[in-house]
Amino acid sequence: MLHASGLRKVYGPVTALDGFDLTVAPGEICGLIGHNGAGKSTFVEIVTGLTRPDAGAVTVGGLPPARARHLVGLAPQEIALYLSVTVEHNLRLFGALAGLRGRGLRQAIDDTAQALGLTDVLRRPVGLLSGGQRRRAQAATAMLHRPALLLLDEPTTGADPGTRAALLQLLRARAADGAAVLYTTHYLPELADLGATLAVCRAGRVIARGSQDELRAGHQTLDDLYHALAVDHA
């Protein structure tokens, strides 16, 4: 579903991506991990078409990002919702932008709100929500149209346990239905809960890729693996 090869992106003296390769199959949850500055967010921006690589290629469902936006759902690291209007109005706007209309849009809002525990706050302005509720509302905008590829960039930062549990449960369900999921996080236990494969990113490239069992060989925990790989490729 998602295929990237040889991506390179340079911002002045900073090389954000330097030969970045990654493939995520339908039904797979891939945890993209790495320290700050490793290139994770830049890669997400390229996949969504927000920026263009200087070299290399990326496709979603065989299409370049500019033609694949209907296939992608994005929950960015920073909350990107209209704070002065209700959760429902935000979901209606994002759903319409994704091509949903009429009864289909209403059903998508109801189903997603119920799955993420937002039903009771649909008519509340986003600016009056708790941090966890805002996180769930942001995730809902990405999932409304049941995209073939879900991109979630640190989606549970600052979230309460209930928010984290609801989101992970819905992600597992969407992957079971065939969606490809790319999940960037520093909370490594979440990846174990999701049964995710791993892609370890450092200095703008993927330095290790595989199942958790494969990459964890010789290390007791995911944290041990993460830090060992970072040191080994320093």
Predicted pLDDT at 225: 66
With beta carbons less than 8 A apart as the criterion, state whether 99 and 59 touch: no
Q: What is the spatial distance between Cα 180 and Cα 178, in angstroms, rounded to a whole number?
A: 7
Helical H runs in the chain?
40-47, 87-97, 102-115, 131-143, 161-176, 188-194, 212-216, 222-232
pLDDT value at 100 more than 80: yes
At 145-154, the pLDDT tens digits run 999 999 998 8
Predicted pLDDT at 124: 96
Q: Is the dihedral of CA 111, 114, 119, 125 positive or negative?
A: negative
Mean pLDDT of 65-80: 91
Per-position b or e across 187-210, b if 16+ CB within 10 A of its CB: bbebbeebebbbbbbbbbbbebbe
Q: What is the spatial distance between Cα 173 and Cα 167, in angstroms, rounded to a whole number?
A: 10
pLDDT value at 79 more than 50: yes
Q: Is the dihedral of CA 80, 65, 15, 39 positive or negative?
A: positive
Cα dihedral angle (95, 76, 29, 71), rounded to 10 degrees?
A: 40
Predicted pLDDT at 186: 80
Q: What is the spatial distance between Cα 189 and Cα 82, in angstroms, rounded to a whole number?
A: 31
Among 163, 89, 156, 85, CA closest to 126: 85
With beta carbons less than 8 A apart as the criterion, state whether 225 and 216 touch: yes
At 17-47, the pLDDT tens digits run 999 999 999 999 999 988 888 889 899 999 9
pLDDT value at 142 more than 70: yes
Of 84-88, 138-142, 217-221, where does mean pLDDT reach its minimum? Answer: 217-221
Predicted pLDDT at 232: 47
At 173-220, the pLDDT tens digits run 999 999 999 999 888 888 888 999 999 998 899 998 988 888 777 665
Domain boundaries 2-79+148-232, CATH class:
alpha beta
pTM: 0.87
| CB hemisphere CA count around 80 (13 angstroms) | 13
pLDDT value at 230 more than 60: no
Predicted pLDDT at 220: 56
Domain extent listing, the chain: 2-79+148-232
Q: Is 215 exposed, middle or buried (0-12, 13-18, 19+ CB in 10 A)?
A: buried
What percent of the chain clears pLDDT 90, i.e. is strictly above it? 63
Alpha carbon separation from 191 to 5, 29, 55, 80, 113 (Å, rounded): 24, 9, 30, 24, 23
pLDDT value at 71 more than 60: yes
With beta carbons less than 8 A apart as the criterion, state whether 189 and 222 touch: yes
With beta carbons less than 8 A apart as the criterion, state whether 52 and 3 touch: no
Predicted pLDDT at 223: 66
Q: What is the spatial distance between Cα 6 and Cα 22, in angstroms, rounded to a whole number?
A: 9
Predicted pLDDT at 91: 96
pLDDT value at 14 more than 70: yes
